[in-house]
Amino acid sequence: MALSTIERFLLTLTLYNLLVTAAVSIYGIVARPSLTKKIISLTILGDSLNVLAIFIGFRVFSIPPELVSEVELERFVGLAVDPLPQALVLTAIVIGLAVTLFLVFLALQVYRLYGTLDTRRIRELRG
């Protein structure tokens, strides 16, 4: 089964949207002076990369990865979706949550010590 023009267009648009979102979040991490904005940008980057991993493992006309009988093995190999990207994304979500919580804790400690979350001001106060 071939993809129609509109389906191909939507898949391409989704891919470009993911890449632009990742690029904007990298800009937010690098260029914004606020630690809060850096943490939010890092979270958005992780989420967009997770969606990109799911997008790579996506098949348009697919069946669940469940082998019912040995007779349909050739059809199963051709149509079944790969569960590995889904498992990796679940692991990445848990790791991303832990990293985000750690960064929020560090930002709270920085705010308690310096009274600001602006990295330029922290650099001035630190000397």
CATH number for the domain including 50?
A: 1.10.287.3510
Name the residue with higher pLDDT: 82 or 101.
Answer: 101
Cα separation values, 86 from 65, 72, 74, 118, Å: 12, 24, 23, 37
Segment 48-68 mean pLDDT: 80
Structural domain of residue 15, as residue ranges? 5-126
Segment 50-68 mean pLDDT: 79
Neighbours of 33 (CB within 10 A): 14
Q: How confident is the model at residue 33 (pLDDT cuts 50, 70, 90)?
A: very high
Q: How confident is the model at residue 71 (pLDDT cuts 50, 70, 90)?
A: low
Cα separation values, 14 from 18, 25, 52, 94, Å: 6, 16, 9, 24
The span from the first CA to the last CA of the chain, in angstroms, equals: 64
Q: How confident is the model at residue 25 (pLDDT cuts 50, 70, 90)?
A: very high
Query: Do the Cβ atoms of 61 and 1 come closer than 8 Å?
Result: yes
Segment 18-35 mean pLDDT: 95
Q: How many domains does the chain have?
A: 1
Characterize 111-127 residue by residue with b for buried, 16 or more Cβ atoms within 10 angstroms of its Cβ, and e for exposed.
eeeeebbeeeebeeeee
pLDDT digits (tens, 9 = 90+) for 92-119: 999 999 999 999 999 999 999 999 999 9
Report CA 66 to chain centroid distance, whole Å.
27
